[in-house]
């Protein structure tokens, strides 16, 4: 999503990002300037509201439905579990976990759309919780270590999965924790890694998690794999996955491409995976920001202060690399994308910001 605030464009992945300290500063200035603000992606005017010293970007009354369905500001869109009032996660119904996927016999397009929306909401929720879990795991395994010490390590997938489970279980729906709800319904969730997968003759999918093979219905698999798609190209495994299932039924299935086995580094393309694995061979700590929400805690206070002096809060490099006395900032560039004006302009803008950073930052563009 791209939003315009006081004439400047910012890219966000979740409404939560506007609550970061640096974004709040931008919103506070815009609030007093009475500038025009809008969601550029949907061409919908928005305004800034101030509640208890926090600033929010809001749609005008009755206009929230004018955003596109995949916009975080759309009224019943992918982020409808985030309350407009305080940007907290507030899930109103269990449908996000259980709303059954339509059977092949279902032809009612409204029923199908409604079920698919729940799946998209769920996937987006897990994405945000996973971002949180990843930052927690990274900070725990690197607790007390200076970011420029050359001793930064990467969290294991198992630890990230553990924190994701905690994040999800502790959420409440109508006063009950998700942990209690799942127990009542005898639904379990499992996280792990998918090392390979294939389509079977009956059109279902089989995946291998390093120990065992599992079968997943075609529809469930294809909804999950949407997140691993770049246009129509599907990024290959390994994937991190989360499965929510009862005795006979898979309710939800979430996947996210990762760089390699056992350690957790999300990637957004096969090219990014290649680059991440090269860096890993050198034994460096890597952090891939999934959103901009945790940049400050990952870099730690002093480094983040230097960083945000020159880099706007919406900018997310592909990787931060922690070396001895250096912090690498990596952009992985598929040269085909450079033909796309918007992509190239955004990259050049990012690079002009990185070029002003203090010399212990080291910017590298990796192009292929």
**Closer residue to Zn ion (CB): 67 or 294:** 67
Least distance (Å) from Zn ion to the CB of residue 38? Answer: 9
Interatomic CA distance for residues 223 and 113, integer angstroms: 12
**Closer residue to Zn ion (CB): 69 or 218:** 69
Single out the segment in contact with Zn ion by CB under 5 A; choices: 73-81, 183-191, 255-263, 321-329.
73-81
Per-residue interface string for the shown chain with Zn ion, residues 327-346, x marking contact by CB under 5 A: --------------------
Where in 10-69 is the site for Zn ion (CB under 5 A)? 39, 41-42, 67
Structure tokens at 84: 């407009």
Structure tokens at 77: 């869109």
Binder of Zn ion out of 26, 71, 227, 303 (CB under 5 A): 71
Q: Under DSSP, is residue 173 helix (H, G, I), strand (E, B) or coil?
A: strand
Structure tokens at 89: 């996660």
Least distance (Å) from Zn ion to the CB of residue 344? Answer: 24
| Total number of residues shown for the chain | 368
**Closer residue to Zn ion (CB): 71 or 130:** 71
User: Are 189 and 97 spatial neighbours (Cβ–Cβ below 8 Å)?
Assistant: no
**Closer residue to Zn ion (CB): 39 or 97:** 39
Asked if 159 interacts with Zn ion (CB under 5 A), we say no
**Closer residue to Zn ion (CB): 39 or 263:** 39
Least distance (Å) from Zn ion to the CB of residue 12? Answer: 10
Question: Cis (ω within 30 of 0) for the bond into 124?
Answer: no
**Closer residue to Zn ion (CB): 39 or 311:** 39
Least distance (Å) from Zn ion to the CB of residue 39? Answer: 3
User: Are 298 and 287 spatial neighbours (Cβ–Cβ below 8 Å)?
Assistant: yes
Single out the segment in contact with Zn ion by CB under 5 A; choices: 8-16, 72-80, 236-244, 359-367.
72-80
Binder of Zn ion out of 10, 73, 207, 241 (CB under 5 A): 73
Least distance (Å) from Zn ion to the CB of residue 23? Answer: 17
**Closer residue to Zn ion (CB): 7 or 210:** 7
Contacts for 65 with CB less than 8 Å, ≥ 6 apart: 74, 75
Place of tokens 């907290």: 88
Size of the site for Zn ion (CB under 5 A): 6
**Closer residue to Zn ion (CB): 63 or 206:** 63
Strand bridging mode 233-234 / 229-230: antiparallel
Least distance (Å) from Zn ion to the CB of residue 46? Answer: 8
- The beta strands (E) that lie in the chain are given as 2-5, 8-11, 37-39, 44-51, 54-59, 172-173, 176-177, 188-194, 196-199, 205-208, 213-216, 229-230, 233-234, 239-245, 250-257, 285-287, 319-323, 326-333, 361-367
Least distance (Å) from Zn ion to the CB of residue 74? Answer: 6
Least distance (Å) from Zn ion to the CB of residue 65? Answer: 11
Interatomic CA distance for residues 52 and 55, integer angstroms: 8
The DSSP-derived string for 141-153 is HTTT--TTBS---
**Closer residue to Zn ion (CB): 69 or 362:** 69
The distance from CA 240 to its chain's CA centroid, rounded to whole angstroms, is 13
Least distance (Å) from Zn ion to the CB of residue 55? Answer: 18
- For binding to Zn ion (CB under 5 A), which residues are involved? 39, 41-42, 67, 71, 73
């Amino acid at each position: 999503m791209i939003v315009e605030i006081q004439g400047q464009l910012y890219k966000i992945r979740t409404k939560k990002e506007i609550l970061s300290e640096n974004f709040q500063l931008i919103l506070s200035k815009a609030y007093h300037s009475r500038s025009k603000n809008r969601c550029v992606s949907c061409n919908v005017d928005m305004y800034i509201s101030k509640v208890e010293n926090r600033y929010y970007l809001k749609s005008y009354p009755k206009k929230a439905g004018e955003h596109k369905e995949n916009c975080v500001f759309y009224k019943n869109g992918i982020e409808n579990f985030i309350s407009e009032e305080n940007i907290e996660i507030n899930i109103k119904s269990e449908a996000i976990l259980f709303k059954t996927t339509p059977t092949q016999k279902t032809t009612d397009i409204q029923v199908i759309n409604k079920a698919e929306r729940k799946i998209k909401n769920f996937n987006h929720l897990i994405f945000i919780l996973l971002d949180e879990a990843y930052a927690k795991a990274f900070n725990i395994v690197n607790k007390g270590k200076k970011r420029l010490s050359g001793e930064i390590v990467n969290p294991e997938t198992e630890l990230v999965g553990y924190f994701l489970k905690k994040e999800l279980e502790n959420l409440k729906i109508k006063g009950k924790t998700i942990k209690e709800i799942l127990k009542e319904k005898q639904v379990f969730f499992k996280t792990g890694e998918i090392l390979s997968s294939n389509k079977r003759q009956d059109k279902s999918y089989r995946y291998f998690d390093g120990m065992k093979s599992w079968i997943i219905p075609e529809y469930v698999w294809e909804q999950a794999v949407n997140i691993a798609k770049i246009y129509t190209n599907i990024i290959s495994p390994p994937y991190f996955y989360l499965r929510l299932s009862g005795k006979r039924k898979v309710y939800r299935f979430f996947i996210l491409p990762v760089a390699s086995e056992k350690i957790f580094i999300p990637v957004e393309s096969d090219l990014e995976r290649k680059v991440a694995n090269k860096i890993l061979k050198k034994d460096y700590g890597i952090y891939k920001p999934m959103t901009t929400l945790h940049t400050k805690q990952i870099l730690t206070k002093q480094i983040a202060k230097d960083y945000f002096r020159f880099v706007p809060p919406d900018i997310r490099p592909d990787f931060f690399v922690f070396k001895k006395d250096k912090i690498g900032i990596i952009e992985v560039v598929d040269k085909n994308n450079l033909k796309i004006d918007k992509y190239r302009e955004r990259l050049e803008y990012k690079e002009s910001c990185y070029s002003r950073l203090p010399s212990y930052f080291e910017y590298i563009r990796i192009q292929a």
